[in-house]
Structure 1
């Protein structure tokens, strides 16, 4: 399977394909119409086949014989047989003679030659139905894989002619300035021009804890801007961005074949010619060993041999199994680089993974509150009064604390980039943030905090360490 560049315009989400219920036209979805058209040839052939067999069995129409009967079954055969024969002819033109399409074409045409018209149609119809089931499974798996593509950005606000214009990320050039509002996804890789930013990089790294960065730091497409409006200078074209590489990885995961798939493909190239020559042998060799040799009988047996020996079930089932596995994993948010890694999974005996957002939900909660020199309820009133001014996810977790905070109000709250908050609550100076903030304000921090691995919020009131809150 040849790789191709991902085109953002080809990856429209399903929601964008929907329309208003009062737009005055047919509301059947394109998928429903496509599915009906896909199954229509098989349905037509099935109806024609059943009708023909019924007429044969009950002898309902005396004139249903000769060319009329042949024509009836030819019409029944064409909708399911022609696509297979077309595929077989395409393979032959490429130098690949011995394919399942070739085998099925020979077997069914042979059935027509010896007068077994219903069997010729039935064999091709069953094969076509099998192909439909395969395609449906592939489509479902592909749909599961595409569900991962929701991480893609849909538009970019680029500065042109003194104004920000909304364009496709693919149309933005290196060196241009883009603007990202709160809650929007960063559409392209670049350098942060704003003083600071808080980004949700879970779609790229799996880390649910926001990443706080400063000016000139590298930002990656697919990250979500959590706080104020930011500006970014583009450093990579869309097709070279981190998100495009992820999309390419998802789209082309099935192209990376496992050893089993490669073996089956090579095996089929050897097996199929052998089946063809054996069928020829079944037809002609008995002439030299059987006294009452009848060419039609032995050709019929050879055709049966061709049908039951067709490797399509083997050739289809193995790749389809891997494809279904990739799709099922994608449905559950797990991305494999290719089918070969599904095989590698069977050899794993130890699994090491990040906990937050991987084996947990990635939602921050207060794990422990440690107030030093303060009662916990009063300590938390100072903390929640300050965090009420912040939009940071950790601040939101702290605000989940149950308590009456009506009498505590924060003012003169300033955010210190990369460190935390500084403000005044009910006349007391309050610092909330990390250890760097405490050190910068000459606050002594207990050594016990150094061994804590969870996210920790340190609090100082009136220039004295007042405690901390653990977030997990």
Structure 2
């Protein structure tokens, strides 16, 4: 994809070009590409995603053309393909032996076997030459990558250490071991690639959820069209058993829809006209006509994929530390190897061959591959495991912060409660019930708040048509005001009238009695005169009490923040077993989060709309939202299933991921420490050193992949 900016006279060429890049298997691959391209003139910004296998380059001049970028990337051993050019349609993943790394394993293995055959059947010199030939032939592609990285200013790569170690072994007469080391290195690289593809499989599977075609309905006629061509406003027919091809609204029909591919919720949800449906969901029972609401590139699945890819590119604090550590670690290891090779022979009369051999082994075991991959492998697996269950997190930093959570602040309406309040009482004062409903419905007609919907539903049930309203205005934390038939009408919190001294004591008593029952009371005034009271109740979610209990057992406090009155808040909070703060304006919620955050990490859970400032301020902001725009974009994380119990699952998954990271770091550093010592002492040699390095990388990767099967709901 190429994007050219508008260019004024004399302005340099500005454009962005994207490539698909094959062969990236670990964080060091990303660093090599970034390093090689950063020295090219005219390149302003480079974005590389290992999981998405993509490269984006922002140019500020035409000093470097795209072909030069491709040439630099290809020299490093990767396969770039411009995304704006016609690409062959992706087929099933090739067998391991068909990849470049697989072919290197096969070739180096065959050469090694042939050398052993020559060594066993012919005189010693011929056997040595055969092993040397096997080593050099297998080393050629590795050395090419090493010198390409060297020219890009990166001397300390695993390929360079491998090249030096293999050539050094040949010089001191250890040809057989040099050939074996090349073969073992090739196996390690192949296993690393297999593990990376396994980690990417979750994202690929998400992309496969959306069908390639859709049944377009125009003037009663059906035609099969590519799903990517669907436009907003078009109608599609979704037959029983079909996957829905686009995000949209049900226009006609009633059917159960399995939304588990998107939300992780396994129980099908009944959808009727007006209900939202997601691309990738499965229509279970009857045919539905769906009006397309989003283009293919913006549907929920596509945006989840983008979010996961971006999250995996965002480094966690631990990952950044390991990355910085490895920059110093490799030069230190190289320096130690030089000292091991020189000091004993020069200072103590040691044998050059012996200490050179040990120095070469030290070089191989010193490679930080296992350490570098220990964090991103765990993060990628945790993100994939969470995505499958509707637990989205925007990067490793969010996982770390969620694992450290010590207090969870919940919004009330739509979070701890179902967000579906019902009108329970209408108490007329200066107007009858019908007038009260007509006035309230008129003011609330422009609002999407759950309380507004409840009032409008009650008016519809009673056959009451809303009056015409204009100049509707939101009074933050209070309610709504509008002109209805030219008269100012207010619907909202009784607090406003109470503060102005306009509520009679008998009315205040009525309001208190309703609020003590856990009901929210709204006053309806016309030209400052009280017309009536409307009481609504929003029941707690079925899993809310269990969630608070589970958090408590995990050592995490809970508090409810609400703009509702204290008596209603007390009734809801008391039933759930958590603390509360009531009658909070949006700014008050922000102040509360700021206060909580002073002495402990805080997670804020809200609907992602009214609570946006508080979500942004918390250490981790979590949006409930069933895949809405706000749920995916406002906060640090989102619960697509709309289950409050997933807050517990998210924290458990984050803690499991951080535990997995600690295990990986201990495993990587522990094996390095053991074999560094044994290599210097001469207990282990070259082939054991490379096996230890490869083994550590494989063990760390396999340990990280365990998270793919983690069940945080347990």
State the TM bucket, normalised to the shorter chain. Answer: 0.5 to 0.7
Show the 5 A alignment for 1:25-174.
Answer: 32=95, 34=97, 39=102, 41-42=104-105, 44-46=107-109, 48-49=111-112, 52=115, 56=119, 60-65=120-125, 69-79=128-138, 81-149=139-207, 151-159=209-217, 163-174=221-232
Deviates more, 1:90-99 or 1:204-213: 204-213
The 1-side partners of 2:538 and 2:335 are apart by 74
Q: What do the CA deviations read for 1:237-293 (whole angstroms, capped 9, x no partner)?
A: 211122211232345553233222222222212221232233334444567634x47
Q: Secondary structure at the match of 2:222?
A: strand
Query: Residue 182 of structure 1: CA displacement?
Result: 3.7
Q: 1:337 to 1:148 in 2, by over 3 A?
A: farther
- 1:336 is displaced (CA, Å) by 4.7
| 1:300 corresponds to 2:375 | no
Q: 1:98 to 1:176 in 2, by over 3 A?
A: same
Distance of 2:241 and 2:104 partners within structure 1 = 48
User: Take 1:50 and 1:196, find their aligned partners in 2: how far apart are those partners?
Assistant: 66
Residue 367 of structure 2 corresponds to residue 310 of structure 1: yes
**C-alpha distance in structure 1 between counterparts of 2:340 and 2:258, whole Å:** 67
TM-score scaled by length of structure 2? 0.41
> Which residue is 1:245 aligned to?
303
- CA positional deviation for 1:303: 1.7
Cα distance per residue 1:330-380 (max 9 Å; x no partner): 677765543444434532467899xxxxxxxxxxxxxxxxxxxxxxxxxxx
Would you say the 8 A contact 1:98–1:272 is kept in 2? yes
What pairs with 1:339-418 in structure 2 (closer than 5 Å)? 339-348=396-405
Structure 1 counterpart SS, 2:279: coil
Task: Please give the TM-score of this superposition, normalised by the length of structure 1.
Answer: 0.58
- With over 3 angstroms needed to count, the CA separation of the structure-2 counterparts of 1:328 and 1:228, relative to structure 1, is closer
Aligned mates of 2:172, 2:142 — CA distance in 1? 21
Please give the alpha-carbon distance, in whole angstroms, between the structure 2 residues aligned to 1:102 and 1:178: 56
1:178 and 2:252 are equivalent in the alignment: no
Give the aligned partner of residue 204 of structure 1.
262
Structure 2 match to 1:379: none
Give the C-alpha shift of residue 299 in structure 1. Answer: 3.3
Distance 1:164 1:350, change over 3 A: farther
Distance 1:62 1:224 in 2: 67
- Report the structure number with the largest CA radius of gyration: 1
Please give the per-residue CA displacement for 1:385-412, whole angstroms capped at 9, x wherever unaligned: xxxxxxxxxxxxxxxxxxxxxxxxxxxx
8 Å CA contact 1:147, 1:331 repeated in 2: no
CA contact (8 A) 1:138 1:323 kept: no
Return 5+ residue gaps in structure 2 as ranges: 1-47, 57-82, 411-456, 464-516, 518-536, 543-714
Change (3 A) 1:109 1:323: farther
Contact 1:169 1:238 in 2 (8 A): yes
What is the CA-CA distance between 1:178 and the residue it aligns to? 2.8
Is contact 1:185-1:222 (8 Å) kept?
Answer: yes
State the aligned residue count: 351
- Separation in 2, partners of 1:203, 1:323: 19
| Paired residue secondary structure (1:65) | helix
